[in-house]
Structure formats: C-alpha cells, structure tokens
Amino acid sequence: MSISPQDVKKLRDQTGAGMMDAKRALVEAKGDPEAARDLLRKWGLAGVSKRAGRAASDGMIAHYVHQLDPQFAPKKAALVELNCETDFVAKTDEFKQLGRDIAMNVAAMEPNWVSREDVPSEELERQRKIIVESDDMKGKPDNVRHKIVEGKLNALFEDRGGVLLEQAFVKDPNKNIGDVLNEYAAKVKENIVVRRFVRYTVGEDE
C-alpha cells in the first residue's frame, strides 16, 4: 500500500507523532487515519508505563485563580507542581497550559490527594466502614458486598474532594486527569508527574 507524504504529515500534525511512527501506523492501519491514530495512542500509552520510574526533576509551578465574576475579587486559587524530565518540555507553551488546566481542576474539584496511594490507610478504612454500615448494604449477599464497597469507594474518590488523578477533567469530562497526563506523556515521551498541590479558598483553612 502506498502512503503519501501528505498522509504522514496530516497524521503528524494531528497527533504530534514522529515521522517514522506516523508512517508505520498508517501502514499497519492500511491507510485508515482513525485506526492509525488509535495505534499511535496505544503505542504511546504502552511507553508511559515504561517511563514511569524515570526521574521527573524539571517542570513548573502552575497557578490558577478562579474569578466567577469580574466585578468581585476572586475567592479561589490553586498551585500545582507539575514535573517533567527536561527543561525542553518544561519551557513549552503546551506544558504550561497543561499545568494551568490541572491547577484549574484542583480549584474546581477540590481534591484532597494526588493519587490513591496518597490516601491514608485509616481514611480508606473509615470510608469502607461507612459504606458497609450504610442502609444500601443491608441484605446484600456476601459474594457481592466487596464489589459494591469497592465500586462506591471508586466513585467517592472520583468525586469532588477525592483523588486528583481519578477526577474528571473539567475541560473534557470523558477523561480523568490521569488520562490527560498519560496522553501528554505519550506525546512528549517523558515521565509527567503531578508532585503536589495546594488550594486556597477565602475564609477557609485548606
């Protein structure tokens, strides 16, 4: 099958993939651009897990100030430390925009932790106990109770006040923050990490 340079360029423009990767994807997808995009995404996300252990010691402090009405002073703000591997990526406008978007998510969704691993074990047990003792669990057979508890825990941590990486991305609720980071990491071929965040709300202790 003949893949034209124009086809390769179009796919590169759409995905940010390298020339050889774009051409290989088009060849394997038999010229179907949508299937080629899916292949590039799959290859990229597979590489994300391999890069997860690499040091991400560069990056930026991103900020977002939420101003609901320009007539009034803003009441919410967030700071996020977003890390990458090189200053080349850290200096790009796209990386800076990613940082601002994540800070906006922090201000909007008010997470308490970055990842599930950051949730204290006593908090996990407390939430499990609340769910197990709720009226919804009464009369449920033992073989489904565990699945129900885990499902409710997942929903809890995906909601406001939960875990940042599992919360819906406010700009595209079909993705969570973890998806957004993985897609960007696949594109730039670096380990991308949210190290920490802090929220500020006027009149409240964070």
Residue % of the chain over a pLDDT of 90: 37
- What does DSSP assign to residue 186? H
Percentages (nearest 5) of helix, strand, coil residues in the chain:
55, 15, 30
pLDDT value for 45: 52
The Cα 71–Cα 67 span in angstroms is 9
Q: What ranges make up the beta strands (E) of the chain?
A: 58-66, 76-84, 168-169, 172-176, 193-201
Confidence of residue 16 (pLDDT cuts 50, 70, 90): low
pLDDT score, position 185: 86
Give pLDDT tens digits for 80-100.
999 998 889 999 999 999 999
- C-alpha to C-alpha distance for 205 and 95, rounded to whole angstroms: 30
Question: How far does Cα 24 stand from its chain's mean position?
Answer: 28
Q: What single-letter DSSP state applies at residue 84?
A: E
CA distance 68 to 71: 9
Which tens digits make up the pLDDT trace of 115-126?
A: 989 999 999 999
Mean pLDDT value across residues 159-170? 94
What is the pLDDT, as a whole number, of residue 51?
55
pLDDT band of residue 102 (cuts 50, 70, 90) is: very high
Domains within the chain, CATH numbers bracketed: 5-51 (1.10.8.10), 58-115+163-201 (3.30.479.20), 120-158 (no CATH)
**pLDDT averaged over every residue in the chain:** 84
Q: How confident is the model at residue 143 (pLDDT cuts 50, 70, 90)?
A: confident
> Among 148, 129, 12, 205, which Cα is nearest to 4's?
12
What average pLDDT does range 25-29 have in this prediction? 85
**Which tokens in the block code for residue 199?**
């929220």
Confidence of residue 54 (pLDDT cuts 50, 70, 90): low
User: CB under 8 Å to 119, separation ≥6 — which residues?
Assistant: 112, 113, 157, 163
